[in-house]
């Protein structure tokens, strides 16, 4: 999953002007605003997140009396998207290796979502096994950081599964949904 867009700019020719279709409510203002506002992929909300939540409750946690709040993956995903580093170059002109990454620390995520540190790891693992985010570990000196690379526009099947760049449907590993002591 690459975090660089594959669009080619128009060189030495004028960009064709397309008529924008009408936008509901104040969506056009949001899209035209130079403050960097984004819109979300509605298919994630309509197909993918409901599938993940239903599979968690009906398959993974079916025998549990107390089921974890898997619905928090939605808030967690949108928090990650809200704090992505969109600077392709650093201030010194070098390429930014964290371009496209959200690198919030655990304390900040806990403060925003009011969830336990262990739940952050669980939610990230669920999103990652479903192909919605990619995580990497990063060290600065002896301090370890986790970088999250959320997908903005994944390809989605009609039944709510993500399709990777090779055209393969990503089926989640349900073992990551369980606490480490139950795997």
Which tens digits make up the pLDDT trace of 16-63? Answer: 667 777 777 777 777 777 776 667 788 999 999 999 999 999 999 999
Closest by CA position to 173, among listed 116, 125, 121, 113: 125
**Higher pLDDT residue, 20 or 12?**
20
* Separation of alpha carbons 34 and 66, rounded Å: 45
CB atoms within 10 A of CB 147: 17
* Helix boundaries (H) for 13-159: 27-32, 42-43, 49-55, 72-82, 106-113, 117-129
The CA distance from 27 to 31, in Å, is 6
Q: Is the pTM of this model over 0.85?
A: no
């Amino acid at each position: 999953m690459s975090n660089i867009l594959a669009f080619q700019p128009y060189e030495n020719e004028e960009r064709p002007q397309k008529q924008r279709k009408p936008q509901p409510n104040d969506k056009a203002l949001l899209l035209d605003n130079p403050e960097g506002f984004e819109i979300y992929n509605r298919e994630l909300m309509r197909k993918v997140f409901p599938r993940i939540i239903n599979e968690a409750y009906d398959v993974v946690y079916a025998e549990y009396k107390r089921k974890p709040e898997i619905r928090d993956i939605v808030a967690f995903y949108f928090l990650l998207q809200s704090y992505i580093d969109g600077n392709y170059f650093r201030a010194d002109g070098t390429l930014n290796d964290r371009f496209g990454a959200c690198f919030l620390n655990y304390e900040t995520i806990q403060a925003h979502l009011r969830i336990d540190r262990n739940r952050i790891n669980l939610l990230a693992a669920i999103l990652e096994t479903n192909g919605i985010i990619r995580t990497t570990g990063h060290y600065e000196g002896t301090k370890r950081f986790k970088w999250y690379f959320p997908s903005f526009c994944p390809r989605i099947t009609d039944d709510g599964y993500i399709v990777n760049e090779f055209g393969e449907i990503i089926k989640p590993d349900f073992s990551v949904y369980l606490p480490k002591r139950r795997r």
